[in-house]
Structure 1
């Protein structure tokens, strides 16, 4: 977890870097946690924003739920990176591994069962990893719609975190359950596109979310080696989004459809 001030400065603008320094000095960073190479934190701005930083070799992946739509990292991410540069937080994974080595199978099963009872999101990830069925597009879309409703004031200004849905899709893909993964991706791009008229900030975040979901959907559809009839059905999903009445992102969907057809016929 090697990051220094010069690296942080290079990842953003001078103005944002200075604001990040100020935020850190003002003690706005809360709830810093590290597990392996993943650091999460909450930073207090006009509201509390969630920051996620993942270290991978020489790469650095940062995310924040704030509406920042400028160049490079936002001030909340900068503040947390500066905190890490000053001294990485303790890695909780070591404690967890130590306990896992000691706990009995029965106690672990009881704990997991209770956690799954109390946490619907964790339960869904568990079923995606180990179960045989999956939820419908409509069910996933309803969850995403609820996120928009929770963030609307009356418009949505900040970047809603959809990472949970992408993680579920990846779990399905890891098990070669491509249609289940495609269901999740489809729900994301359909509902985000549907709610795009609510968005009044963090436009780049939502455009990238749609594109990431489209790309995942296309990859999964092609991985199933569909018949021409099946392919027409799957491709029709993209065409339907491209021809909606509002059609704010129609060009993005038309490009995706052209690319999908080219890959299928190539």
Structure 2
């Protein structure tokens, strides 16, 4: 074993390897990797040392106390997205119909379905790889997953029937990719994060269709960065919706929402 600099305390070899690779939470990552079958451990550690995101190496991501399937090349849900889930839970009546756009691996829809009784869930994403993973994650809650651009693949019966639309849209401005952690920047498709010049291109497209798919009084909710709030609120208002926003206690997560009048 090696030892912690200055303390003399022994450091377990796996932790030492992960630290050397630049893993900030090496102890936690080592504990998660040890859950893998022994025959997979060494190859998985090497993948992590090479910079592959831990979630892609493990095959799961933990969000809201739930382990959800994830695969290489699929967007990794961030912990700040729990604010979007919480707002959707607060605003969605039991037994409602909900649509999760830009669903990725289906994390938002899965947590919603487990927290809102009797929820009828549909989800959609343009990425075939993400759709395949979302179908695995949403099968236990009876969610339907569609592959296509926003609402294009959806059955017309949902039009005007949705109590809530969640849309964790890409919102990183095209010139700000350097702000994304390096391992994720290399491993996730750029289109899952890049929201155009000001980061709001996809939100504009969601806002343009939301009113015709929401029931009266229904809500559309999306995650943005704090500096984007004024522009995002203006986008939703211009679409004929009544906007609002909420920020979590430490200011790291922001959700904009709007109600169909």
- Give TM-score scaled by structure 1 length: 0.26
Which one has the largest radius of gyration? 1
- Give TM-score scaled by structure 2 length: 0.26
